[in-house]
Amino acid sequence: LGHQTMLDGIDTANAQANHARYMQALDALLAWQLASRPGVLPAYDEALLRREVQLFPDWYLHKHKGLTLDHTQSLTLSKAFDAIVAHNLASPQVYVHRDFMPRNLMLPAQPGSTAAQQLGVLDFQDAVHGPVTYDIASLMRDAFLSWEEDFVIDVTVRYWEKARAAGLMDFEDWHSDFGAFYRGVEWMGLQRHLKVAGIFARLTLRDGKPKYLADTPRFIAYIRHTAHRYRALGPLLKLIDEVEGLQAASGYAFGRV
Domain residue spans of the chain: 7-244
Amino acid 166: pLDDT:
97
- Number of neighbouring beta carbons within 10 Å of residue 61: 21
Q: What is the pTM of this model?
A: 0.90
Tell me the CB-side half-sphere exposure of residue 237, using CA atoms within 13 A: 17
* pLDDT > 50? residue 113: no
Categorize the per-residue pLDDT at 116 as very low, low, confident or very high, splitting at 50, 70 and 90.
Answer: very low
29-48 average pLDDT score? 96
Write the DSSP assignment of 133-165 as a string of letters. Answer: THHHHHHHS-SS----HHHHHHHHHHHHHHHHH
Tell me the CB-side half-sphere exposure of residue 215, using CA atoms within 13 A: 18
Identify the CATH number of the domain defined by range 7-244. 3.90.1200.10
Task: Give the pairing of strands 105-106 and 93-96.
Answer: unpaired
Amino acid 90: pLDDT:
96
| Tens-place pLDDT, residues 132-161 | 999 999 999 988 889 999 999 999 999 999
203-219 average pLDDT score? 91
Q: Is the separation of the CB atoms in 190 and 138 below 8 Å?
A: no
| Alpha carbons 249 and 241: distance in angstroms, whole number | 10
| Alpha carbons 199 and 29: distance in angstroms, whole number | 24
* pLDDT > 60? residue 256: no
In order of 148, 153, 185, 240, the CA distances from 160 in angstroms are: 19, 10, 11, 31
Instruction: Give the gyration radius of the chain's Cα atoms.
Output: 18
Percent of the chain with pLDDT over 90: 81
- 226, 229, 235, 240 alpha-carbon torsion, rounded to 10°: 40
Amino acid 215: pLDDT:
87
* pLDDT > 50? residue 2: yes
* pLDDT > 90? residue 50: yes
User: Quick one: which of 154, 150, 155, 149 has its CA closest to 222?
Assistant: 149
Task: Give the pairing of strands 120-121 and 105-106.
Answer: antiparallel
